[in-house]
């Protein structure tokens, strides 16, 4: 018999089949994108680090005439949910009233009769991908919110919805429910969801206490102008896509701390900085330091962690420390780990056999310097000092490696999912396929691009790729590092 599939939550995180899960969600109104592009766009979000898709159901598109429900072509919710499931993505469905028509709720039962059974079939608990159902989509906070929420919640439960039902209700201010997440949303939502994790289903800013940030990233119409989407109207990846990928990769790397750690506030910070910490007994911690000032760069300290730290206006620094690296069952006896990093951390992992030690990817602006301290084989305090440049650099701390990246390159690091010994690629906008002998990458079709190739032993080489006529390029890779004294080698893809 197959184990029971469940969806739940505690005060800190969502629980999928009883296990803590961090939900990294891309907001995607499916009916606003041509159906033939669904699979490609979902795949791009997955490669961008997301593990969930949130989609609203536009009532006026699906029921243009009372009682006449249309699920053809781009309005086929069943097909869209099936595609998300095929690609292994969680789904959050915003069923409620249709976007922008909150006052019109004369016939909610008819709407629920049409949609709830379909969504119920796609629930995680029935083998599908839907882990949450939101009872409205874009409603403002009005006197009728509580009544509307109860009508939809009761109606969904009666029609077989067993996954958690959520709502955007709350006293947060500003457009789309938020204007200062750090000061308003955290306080408001903590007051209303004391037994559950924070969930932001739409927002325009980011605060340190928003563990679950829904990223609007579906292209369509003028959406790029309204929401600054992660995909442009012509389907190309934007700088925001790569920035979101950095955040998602970081969250996945340190998910154990984010989903199981205890929050500690009241940490003393000077000169207007604010600090809190999320920490676990055995798996390390993250000190969150932020500068809330919208117009001033601040230099202060956070004792005893950071004697001096400088943050730009409305900037957040997650300072990671004392983190063992490796599979979860090896945390208590890990032989490699990160003591601290004064630079922003992108990702960290143990090196594949037969290599010893670990590899930590950090990033910063060219010219900045940072110290990264690692441990390996029980020896602590092995420091690497890095200076960031426009090209990737590798520094060694004993058997471990520190890869120093520019901010631009940090969102363009590609590690093969199925072959841990395949070289790491740095530079392509997107990578569709990646194995030891070749890769298929996406580039701006404007000439020659340099791909930096990083091998398990820390050797860096370069590959020149021509992308003049087509943005997709297939290029060969040497499975072994080049044996040149300089550590660099030239090749050409086609």
3-class DSSP string for the chain: CCCCCCEEECCCCEEECCEEECCCEEECCHHHCCHHHHHHHHHHHHHCCCCEEEEECCHHHHCCECCECCCCHHHCHHHHHHHHHHCCCEEEEECCCCCCCCCCCCCHHHHHHHHHHHHHHCEHHHCCCEEEEECCCCCCCCCCHHHHHHHHHHHHHHCCCCCCEECCCCCCCCHHHCCCHHHHHHHHHHHHCCCCCCCECCCCCCCCCCCCEEEECCCCCCHHHHHCCCECCCCCECHHHHHHHHHHHHHHHCHHHHHHCEEECCCCECCCCEEEEEECCCCCEEEEEEECCCCCCEEEEECCCEEEEEECCCEEEEEEEEEECCCHHHHHHCCEEEEEECCEEEEEEECCCCCCCEEEEEEECCCCEEEEEEEECCEEEEEEEEECCCCCEEEEECCEEEEEEEHHHHCCEECCCCCCCCCEEECCCEEEEECCCEEEEECCCCEEEEEEEECCCCCEEEEEEEECCCCEEEEECCCCCCCCCCCCCCCEEC
Q: Residue 386: what pLDDT?
A: 96
- pLDDT reported for residue 105: 55
The answer on pLDDT for 291 being more than 80 is yes
Distance in angstroms (rounded) separating the CA atoms of residues 391 and 408:
10
What is the pLDDT, as a whole number, of residue 490?
Answer: 33
Sorted by sequence, the CB contacts under 8 Å of residue 180 that are 6+ apart come out as 173, 174, 205, 207
Lowest-confidence pick of 148-157, 388-397, 412-421: 148-157
The confidence band for 203, taking pLDDT boundaries of 50, 70 and 90, is very low
Residues 442-453 have a mean pLDDT of 90
Mean pLDDT of 283-309: 93
Pick the more confident residue, 189 or 288.
Answer: 288
| Per-residue confidence (pLDDT) for residue 445, from 0 to 100 | 84
Mean per-residue pLDDT, 48-74: 80
pLDDT band with cut points at 50, 70 and 90 for residue 336? confident
The pTM score is 0.82
Q: How confident is the model over 110-138, as a mean pLDDT?
A: 88
* 272 has pLDDT over 90: yes
Instruction: Answer whether residue 380 shows pLDDT above 50.
Output: yes
Average pLDDT over residues 211-223: 40
Mean per-residue pLDDT over the chain, rounded: 79
The fraction of the chain above a pLDDT of 90, given in percent, is 43
Mean pLDDT of 70-95: 89
Q: What is the pLDDT of residue 182?
A: 42
pLDDT top residue among 63 and 303: 303
Residue 330 has pLDDT above 70, yes or no: no
Question: At residue 338, does pLDDT exceed 80?
Answer: yes
Which range scores top for mean pLDDT: 172-181, 213-222, 291-300?
A: 291-300
Least confident range from 64-68, 204-208, 445-449: namely: 204-208
| Domains within the chain, CATH numbers bracketed | 7-253 (3.20.20.80), 412-494 (no CATH)
The model's pLDDT over 237-263, given as tens digits with 9 standing for 90+, comes to 888 889 989 999 999 999 989 999 998
- Please report the pLDDT score of residue 454 as a whole number: 96
Residue 16 has pLDDT above 90, yes or no: yes
Model confidence at 487: pLDDT above 60: no
Note the pLDDT tens digit of each residue in 170-190.
433 333 333 333 444 344 434
């Amino acid at each position: 018999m197959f184990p029971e599939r469940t969806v739940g939550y505690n005060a800190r995180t969502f629980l999928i089949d009883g296990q803590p899960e961090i939900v990294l969600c891309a907001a995607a109104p499916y009916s606003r994108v041509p159906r033939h592009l669904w699979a490609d766009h979902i795949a791009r979000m997955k490669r961008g680090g997301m593990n969930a898709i949130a989609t609203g159901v536009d009532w006026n598109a699906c029921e243009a005439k009372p009682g006449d429900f249309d699920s053809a072509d781009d309005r086929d919710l069943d097909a869209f949910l099936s595609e998300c499931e095929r690609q292994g993505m969680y789904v959050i469905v915003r069923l409620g009233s249709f976007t922008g028509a909150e006052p019109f709720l004369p016939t909610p039962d008819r709407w629920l009769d049409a949609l709830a059974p379909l969504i119920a079939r796609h629930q995680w608990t029935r083998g599908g991908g839907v882990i949450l159902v939101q009872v409205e989509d874009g409603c403002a906070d009005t006197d009728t919110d509580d009544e509307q929420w109860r009508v939809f919640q009761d109606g969904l439960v009666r029609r077989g919805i067993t996954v958690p039902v959520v709502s955007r209700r709350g006293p947060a201010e500003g457009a789309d429910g938020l204007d200062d997440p750090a000061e308003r949303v955290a306080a408001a939502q903590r007051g209303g969801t004391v037994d559950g994790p924070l969930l932001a289903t739409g927002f325009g800013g980011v605060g340190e206490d928003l563990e679950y940030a829904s990223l609007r990233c579906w292209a369509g119409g003028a959406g790029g102008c309204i929401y600054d989407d992660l995909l442009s109207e012509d389907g190309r990846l934007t700088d925001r896509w790569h920035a979101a990928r950095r955040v998602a990769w970081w969250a996945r790397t340190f998910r154990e701390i984010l989903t199981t750690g205890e929050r500690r506030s009241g940490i003393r910070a000077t000169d207007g900085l604010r600090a809190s910490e999320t920490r676990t007994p055995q798996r390390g911690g993250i000190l969150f330091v932020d500068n809330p000032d919208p117009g001033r760069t601040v230099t202060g300290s956070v004792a005893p962690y950071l004697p001096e730290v400088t943050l730009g206006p409305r900037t957040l620094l997650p300072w990671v420390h004392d983190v063992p690296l490796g599979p979860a069952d090896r945390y208590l006896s890990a032989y490699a780990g990160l003591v601290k990093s004064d630079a922003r951390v992108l990702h960290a992992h143990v090196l594949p056999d037969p290599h010893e030690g670990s590899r930590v990817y950090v990033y910063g602006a060219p010219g900045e310097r940072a110290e990264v301290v690692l441990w390996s084989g029980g020896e602590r305090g092995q420091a690497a000092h890095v200076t960031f440049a426009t090209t990737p650099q590798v520094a060694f701390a004993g058997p471990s490696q520190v890869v120093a990246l520019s901010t631009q390159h940090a969102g363009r690091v590609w590690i093969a999912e199925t072959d841990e010994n395949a070289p790491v690629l740095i530079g392509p906008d997107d990578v569709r396929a990646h194995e030891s002998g070749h890769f298929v990458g996406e580039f701006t079709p404007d000439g020659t691009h340099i791909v930096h190739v990083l091998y398990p032993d820390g050797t860096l080489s370069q590959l020149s790729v021509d992308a003049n006529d087509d943005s997709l390029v297939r290029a060969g890779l040497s499975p072994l590092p080049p044996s040149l004294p300089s550590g660099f080698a030239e090749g050409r893809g086609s």
